Amino acid sequence: MREFYPLLIAGAVISAFAAAFILAYAFMKDKKEAIGFDRNMKDGEITKRLLKYARPYVKQFLVVFLIMLASIAYDIASPLIIGGIADLIKAPFEMRDLFIRLGIYISILLVSLTCQYFQAIILQKTGQRIISTLRYDTFEHIEKLSHHQFSEIPVGKLVTRVTNDTNAVSMMFTNIFVNLAKNSLVIIGILIAMFILNLELTLMVLCFVPFIVIFSLIFRKFSRKAYRKVKDGTTDINTFLSENLSGMKIIRVFDRKKQKMAEFDEKNDELGRAKRRQIFVFGIFRPTIYMLYISSVMTLLYLSARGYIYGLSFAGQVITADILISFYMYIQKFFNPIQTLAEQFNWLQSAFASAEKIFTILDIEPEIKDDPGAVDIGEIKGDIEFDHVWFAYKEENWILKDLSFKVGAGQTVALVGPTGAGKSTILSLLCRNYDIQKGRILIDGVDIRKYTISSLRRQFGQMLQTVFLFSGTIKSNIVLRQEGVTDEQIWEACKYVNADKFISQFDDGLEHEVREFGNNFSAGQRQLISFARTVLYDPKIMILDEATANIDTETEQLIQDSLQKLMNIGTMIVVAHRLSTIQHADNIIVLSGGQIAEQGTHEELLSKRGRYYNLYTLQHRRQQLMS
Ligand code: ADP
């Protein structure tokens, strides 16, 4: 009996571990939500949608599968060959036989390694292609969302979806699916080989399987929770960074650095904690499976050393030294894929969670979309009409109330009025950034909802208050996506809007670098670049939201001068803050509380002595005082 004590002790230790894990799981707090069961999409639905992306690459996956079968052959055959060699060398033997066996072993190894190489190459290429399509679709969809929908999702979250989450999904194609299949096949193959080789030893190994299953299942739950926490932490940090890096100037001006650092510290710690928890879970799982592996090997060696199994025969199978060696190797090859299989399931869960997040974004129905039967706008004249327009950003909080006005093709209309009167909103509605609730907006007499959105937006040259410059060069910012534009044409446009003077001061001229958001240019210079952009684009309708920023007098003069020229290009709607700008406008609409308070030309409004007159005289007097 005493001889079995070591085995009993090993069994007791393993059972104690199992009991501890089961207890830990039972006491795991708020199980369901914590471990990520709060998913809305079914795994089947996610798989179906993912497979749609993989469908064009069926051929590649088939090749990978065949290659994989070849590479598995090594895992199953090598213990047999090594066992055979052991059998050979225990008695006098021919070197030739040994070399033949070694030759076979090395050949299978080389084939397996080559297969693994090609498998990795094909999978990576295919996976990257799939993911770049998914990334493209996600980005394209995000672009379709309305301003309102877009502003509801933090930018950091969107960045995480397009980068981290697509990466996690890419793992699924490049790694998880194939490894799941491979490991499952290896386990089945090894089990069959072991059964054929020796039944009793196989049964002994199988005694450990229930423990492996228990440990793996519990590990899955814990690690799923850990993954979820790491993911949330990463999204949180990305969101925080994207907001705060953009607002860095404000943070500095208002001296909020300490507070923001503290906030970042907290989020950073949270992510650190989540990562450590994840490592801890793996740190427990891997050694536990290793313990099972070692225990089964020890049992094998102990029993054979004691002579209990050596030479044992059952159903025509005798356990000999070569079989022991083969089993020793099989046990290792059996445990490895089991451990990775459990981990792969986790990766799979994590990839599914990412896929769901991406699909949730893809499922957001764009609020503003083409009406059925919408047509391309084609060539337009540029007549604009607001016909009893009612608009609210939220519910019945009307920003524009029954607003009606017309702008003839080629005319300039200026919108003036106090902040919050609804001037910028009018510009936004014209491009269908939002849809109106009542009334109609017409271009050339046709409701803008009857045109396709992309063809409608193509008609506008927008020069907004905060000019958005992309990182690149002055040239790339003026040309944007237009093709076949020559440098001469760009210089001509720059000259027209007085932007040539400051650009020619740079040694590299149009190639001068523009940093993120155009940070290395003054507000006035940015405005002039946006004017040049518009002139080159040559739109039928121009939308200008005049900069309120302080601009030096010299640049101000240049802007005023080019504005007068711009007014000659096509129809123009301008939100003016400096009334001197719009004296030549065909119509000036004074807005107040979303309605027209008065309208007319500069002279007409002055002679009325109403709101415009008051505003104008106020500004005029201020200017005189300053000069
Ligand atoms: P103006 O250009 O005349 O200063 P706006 O058209 O920008 O005025 O704004 C009109 C009103 O609409 C303001 O009360 C403003 O707070 C509100 N508003 C503007 N944009 C939004 C938005 N995206 N969501 C909700 N309300 C908004």
| Closest ligand 1 atom to Cα of 393 | 25
Closest protein CA for atom 18 of ligand 1: 393
Taking only the tens place, the pLDDT of each residue in 513-533 is: 988 778 888 888 888 898 898
- Same-domain check for residues 86 and 225: yes
- Give the Å distance between the CA of 426 and the centre of ligand 1: 10
Q: According to DSSP H, which parts of 27-94 are helical?
A: 31-34, 43-54, 58-89
What stretch of H or E contains 117?
Answer: helix 95-144
What stretch of H or E contains 537?
Answer: helix 523-537
Closest protein CA for atom 14 of ligand 1: 420
- Same-domain check for residues 148 and 239: yes
Distance CA 361, CA 539 (A): 33
| Closest ligand 1 atom to Cα of 421 | 3
Residue 471 and residue 516 in contact, taking contact as beta carbons nearer than 8 Å: yes
Q: Which residue has the higher pLDDT, 155 or 120?
A: 120
Neighbouring C-beta atoms of residue 302, cutoff 10 Å: 16
Distances (CA, A) of 333 to 70, 101, 193, 337, 338: 16, 20, 12, 7, 9
Closest protein CA for atom 17 of ligand 1: 420
Residue 434 and residue 428 in contact, taking contact as beta carbons nearer than 8 Å: yes
Substitution site in 149, 150, 399 for ligand 1 pocket (most atoms within 8 Å of beta carbon): 399
Neighbouring C-beta atoms of residue 128, cutoff 10 Å: 14
Using DSSP, state whether 318 is helix, strand or coil: strand
- Give the Å distance between the CA of 259 and the centre of ligand 1: 30
What mean pLDDT comes out for the span 485-490?
88
Residue 383 lies in a domain: yes
What pTM, to 2 d.p., does this model score? 0.69
Task: Write down the pLDDT at residue 315.
Answer: 62
Q: Alpha-carbon dihedral of residues 102, 108, 114, 117, nearest 10 degrees?
A: -110
What mean pLDDT comes out for the span 65-77?
88
Q: Of 2, 14, 21, 545, nearest to 281 (Cα)?
A: 21
- Give the Å distance between the CA of 410 and the centre of ligand 1: 27
Substitution site in 391, 393, 574 for ligand 1 pocket (most atoms within 8 Å of beta carbon): 393
Residue with tokens 């199992």: 18
- Give the Å distance between the CA of 435 and the centre of ligand 1: 14
Given pLDDT bands bounded at 50, 70 and 90, which one contains residue 442?
very high
Positive or negative torsion for Cα 531, 537, 539, 545: negative
Angle, helices 199-206 vs 321-362, to 10°: value is 40
- Give the Å distance between the CA of 393 and the centre of ligand 1: 8
Using DSSP, state whether 299 is helix, strand or coil: helix
What stretch of H or E contains 250?
Answer: helix 248-253
- Give the Å distance between the CA of 425 and the centre of ligand 1: 6
Residue 562 lies in a domain: no
Task: Kindly give the pairing relationship between strand 438-443 and strand 384-392.
Answer: antiparallel
Substitution site in 152, 389, 425 for ligand 1 pocket (most atoms within 8 Å of beta carbon): 425
| Closest ligand 1 atom to Cα of 426 | 6
Residue 543 lies in a domain: no
Task: Write down the pLDDT at residue 34.
Answer: 45
| Closest ligand 1 atom to Cα of 422 | 6
What mean pLDDT comes out for the span 87-95?
81
| Closest ligand 1 atom to Cα of 147 | 23
| Closest ligand 1 atom to Cα of 417 | 3
Task: Write down the pLDDT at residue 60.
Answer: 92
Task: Write down the pLDDT at residue 38.
Answer: 52
**Parent domain of 604:** 369-459+571-627
Distance CA 189, CA 186 (A): 5
Task: Write down the pLDDT at residue 619.
Answer: 81
Copy the structure tokens of residue 153.
């999702």
| Closest ligand 1 atom to Cα of 545 | 2
- Same-domain check for residues 358 and 446: no
Q: Tell me the HSE value of 490 on the side-chain side, using a 13 A CA sphere.
A: 21
Task: Write down the pLDDT at residue 627.
Answer: 65
| Closest ligand 1 atom to Cα of 591 | 3
Copy the structure tokens of residue 414.
């200026």
| Closest ligand 1 atom to Cα of 594 | 10
| Closest ligand 1 atom to Cα of 428 | 6
What mean pLDDT comes out for the span 124-131?
89
| Closest ligand 1 atom to Cα of 575 | 2
- Same-domain check for residues 385 and 524: no
Q: Of 507, 59, 14, nearest to 287 (Cα)?
A: 14
Residue with tokens 């705060």: 244
Copy the structure tokens of residue 621.
């007097």
DSSP secondary structure code for residue 402 in this structure = E
Given pLDDT bands bounded at 50, 70 and 90, which one contains residue 36?
very low
Lowest-confidence pick of 5-14, 276-285, 501-510:
5-14
Residue 80 lies in a domain: yes
Residue 619 lies in a domain: yes
Using DSSP, state whether 444 is helix, strand or coil: coil
Residue 594 and residue 436 in contact, taking contact as beta carbons nearer than 8 Å: no
- Give the Å distance between the CA of 473 and the centre of ligand 1: 33
Q: pLDDT at residue 440 above 80?
A: yes
- Same-domain check for residues 91 and 108: yes
Distance CA 131, CA 163 (A): 10
Q: pLDDT at residue 309 above 50?
A: yes
Q: Which residue has the higher pLDDT, 40 or 104?
A: 104
Task: Write down the pLDDT at residue 37.
Answer: 42
- Same-domain check for residues 273 and 384: no
- Same-domain check for residues 152 and 201: yes
Domain boundary pick from 330, 362, 394: 362
Q: Which residue has the higher pLDDT, 37 or 124?
A: 124
Taking only the tens place, the pLDDT of each residue in 173-202 is: 888 888 888 889 999 999 999 888 888 888
Q: pLDDT at residue 6 above 80?
A: no
- Give the Å distance between the CA of 384 and the centre of ligand 1: 22
Domain boundary pick from 362, 391, 414: 362
Considering only the C-alpha atoms of the chain, give the largest distance between any 2 of them, rounded to a whole number of Å. 122
Task: Write down the pLDDT at residue 450.
Answer: 92
Burial 334-348 (b: 16+ CB within 10 A, else e): bbbbbbbbbbbbbbb
- Same-domain check for residues 532 and 600: no
Kindly list the protein residues whose Cβ atom lies closer than 6 A to any atom of ligand 1: 393, 399, 417, 419-425
Q: pLDDT at residue 593 above 70?
A: yes
Closest protein CA for atom 20 of ligand 1: 425
- Same-domain check for residues 41 and 161: yes
Closest protein CA for atom 22 of ligand 1: 393
Q: What is the DSSP string of 497-526?
A: TT-HHHHHTSTTGGG-EE-GGGTTS-HHHH
Using DSSP, state whether 86 is helix, strand or coil: helix
Q: pLDDT at residue 149 above 50?
A: yes
Taking only the tens place, the pLDDT of each residue in 386-438 is: 999 999 988 888 999 999 999 998 899 999 988 888 999 999 899 898 899 99
- Give the Å distance between the CA of 423 and the centre of ligand 1: 8
- Give the Å distance between the CA of 463 and the centre of ligand 1: 18
Taking only the tens place, the pLDDT of each residue in 212-234 is: 888 888 887 888 788 878 888 88
Task: Write down the pLDDT at residue 387.
Answer: 93
Domain harbouring 468, CATH code? 3.40.50.300
Lowest-confidence pick of 21-30, 149-158, 184-193:
21-30
Closest protein CA for atom 11 of ligand 1: 420
Task: Write down the pLDDT at residue 535.
Answer: 87
Residue 553 lies in a domain: no
Given pLDDT bands bounded at 50, 70 and 90, which one contains residue 550?
low
Angle made by CA atoms 179, 350, 169, in degrees to the nearest 5: 70
Q: pLDDT at residue 24 above 90?
A: no
Phi and psi of 505, rounded to 5°?
-75, -20
- Give the Å distance between the CA of 415 and the centre of ligand 1: 14
Length of the chain: 627
What mean pLDDT comes out for the span 356-364?
88
Domain boundary pick from 515, 538, 561: 538
Q: pLDDT at residue 59 above 90?
A: yes
Positive or negative torsion for Cα 78, 82, 87, 89: positive
Distance CA 356, CA 36 (A): 12
Write down the mean pLDDT value for the chain: 85
Closest protein CA for atom 26 of ligand 1: 393
Closest protein CA for atom 16 of ligand 1: 420
- Same-domain check for residues 231 and 290: yes
Using DSSP, state whether 151 is helix, strand or coil: helix
Residue 391 and residue 434 in contact, taking contact as beta carbons nearer than 8 Å: yes
- Same-domain check for residues 251 and 396: no
Domain harbouring 26, CATH code? 1.20.1560.10
Distance CA 195, CA 327 (A): 11
Residue 217 lies in a domain: yes
What mean pLDDT comes out for the span 104-121?
92
Angle made by CA atoms 511, 143, 456, in degrees to the nearest 5: 85
Q: Which residue has the higher pLDDT, 248 or 144?
A: 144
Closest protein CA for atom 24 of ligand 1: 393
- Same-domain check for residues 441 and 505: no
| Closest ligand 1 atom to Cα of 415 | 3
What mean pLDDT comes out for the span 450-465?
86
Substitution site in 424, 427, 546, 575 for ligand 1 pocket (most atoms within 8 Å of beta carbon): 424
Q: Which residue has the higher pLDDT, 470 or 306?
A: 470
Angle, helices 523-537 vs 553-566, to 10°: value is 20
Across 50-64, 454-468, 537-551, which has the greatest mean pLDDT? 50-64
Total domains in the fold of the chain: 3
Residue 560 lies in a domain: no
- Give the Å distance between the CA of 422 and the centre of ligand 1: 6
